[in-house]
Amino acid sequence: MKKMLAAVLAAASCASIAQAQQVQAPQSPVPAAAQPSPAFTLDQAVLAAGGAAPSSAAATAAIEAAQAGRTVAGLRPNPVAQGQVENIVGSGPYRGLRSAETTFGVAIPIELGGKRSARVAVASAQMSRAELQAAIVAADIRVQVTQLYVEAVASERRLITARDQARIAAEVLRGAGVRVQAGRASPLEEQRADVARINADANVERLIRLAEAARTNLSRRIGRPIDGTLDVGLLDRLPASTFGPMAPAQTAGTLALAAADADLAIADAGIRLARANRVPDINVGPALRRLEATNDTAAVFSISIPIPVFNNGRAAIAQATAERTRAEAVRRVTALDVEQAITDAQAEAANAATTARAAAGPALAAAQEAARIARIGYREGKFGQLDLLDAERTLAETRIAAIEALANYQNARARLERLTAPAPTSNSGGTDR
């Protein structure tokens, strides 16, 4: 056992020195020949998911609805056709239709107070918000697809590790059988090796199902089957080792803050519209009147203005002002939440990178070297079976821990990119005056 411990310590020391001399990205456990080219990359998966996601279709429909709403907001009110017949079915000279006066005309509403431009301003702000929501949906889709893609790649890595451990367990079982037949070990040693081999095979079956489920979930999300291989090297892409304080969180221009600003712009436009609606409109009615008694025709001109007695628009202004106050408060809260979320995500990504770099670097190298030494020593009779099984178990756990650490970093990086994703430049036009 002391020899085994010395071998492990020596392997760990050598791996640490090598890691200090040069930091390299860990290599994929899949041989290069087993990776057909080209692989189905993460960007291709995100692109396919964007066209298949129902949320993307909903966001596109929302933009189209906002564009139509802006068109509707810029339309003027329709004129009203009017008809009127006077002095009929009375008494004396007004009996029947002898003295009828028939009037036909139109009533043309004339909007005052800038109502049309105020409506267009509200609709334009809503269209900008819809465009931002589409960008938010696209960013969310990228995060979701990234997580599914990383899980699919990690599942394949776990399966490769499990198959390797099953192969090693079968070799250990064969070696134990040879030792037992040669009288160099008890049958109990062969039984222990057989149990380890059975557990390793069962683990392979379990991870096969999980890998198939992960790939199925990814295929379902992108809306198409995945025929080729995945980009298994994605997990190995780690940033260069950096130390020192983190950069301050920059929330300006992020999607979340831009959405809050858009909501505030809608509220500002709503106040303007409420104030414009306080100004009464004018209805102008040119018409022609025909007098039945003389068979003459005369022009008629009418004008009407509503009297704001019961609804003078103050309540609407108060409501719009309160909505603006709420939007401004939500914007301040959003700025604080985004700053905190970015800071936490930066720390999470940096810590995940550090953990992944250590787990996939010196720790994994030490475990591999210890297992190699244990196998050689077991074949030569220098180490016992328990030492070998312990080294193999440590190697398997270290490889799984490295895969989990690499996957955690990729997910943390995706979440950080989602929080810091820039808002698109709005293409919507200005308000009509």
In order of start, what are the domains of the chain with their CATH numbers? 41-76+111-278+313-419 (1.20.1600.10)
When comparing pLDDT for 37 and 341, which is higher? 341
When comparing pLDDT for 317 and 85, which is higher? 317
Distance CA 398, CA 384 (A): 21
Asked if pLDDT for residue 348 goes beyond 70, the answer is yes
Within 8 A by CB and 6+ apart from 255, the residues are 132, 135, 136, 139, 421, 422, 423
**What is the mean predicted confidence (pLDDT) over 362-368?**
86
pLDDT of residue 395: 85
- The confidence band for 242, taking pLDDT boundaries of 50, 70 and 90, is low
Tokens of 205: 């079956």
**What is the mean predicted confidence (pLDDT) over 140-150?**
94
Asked if pLDDT for residue 196 goes beyond 90, the answer is no
Beta-bridge partner residues of 177: none
Question: Which of 71-85, 201-215, 339-353, 384-398 shows the lowest mean pLDDT across its residues?
Answer: 384-398
- The confidence band for 388, taking pLDDT boundaries of 50, 70 and 90, is confident
Question: Which of 169-178, 201-210, 211-220 shows the lowest mean pLDDT across its residues?
Answer: 169-178
**What is the mean predicted confidence (pLDDT) over 179-185?**
75
First to last CA, the chain: 88
Asked if pLDDT for residue 227 goes beyond 90, the answer is no
Mean residue pLDDT across the chain: 83
- Site of tokens 């990205």: 25
pLDDT of residue 95: 72
- The confidence band for 383, taking pLDDT boundaries of 50, 70 and 90, is confident
- The confidence band for 112, taking pLDDT boundaries of 50, 70 and 90, is very high
pLDDT of residue 271: 96
pLDDT of residue 130: 95
H/E run at residue 297: strand 296-304
pLDDT of residue 165: 87
Cα 97 to Cα 288, 295, 298: the distances in Å are 18, 12, 18
Tokens of 410: 């990729």
pLDDT over 70 for what percent of the chain?
86
- The confidence band for 238, taking pLDDT boundaries of 50, 70 and 90, is confident
Within 8 A by CB and 6+ apart from 377, the residues are 3, 4, 7, 383, 387, 388
pLDDT of residue 245: 57
In the structure, how many helices (H) and strands (E) does the chain have? 9, 4
**What is the mean predicted confidence (pLDDT) over 331-351?**
92
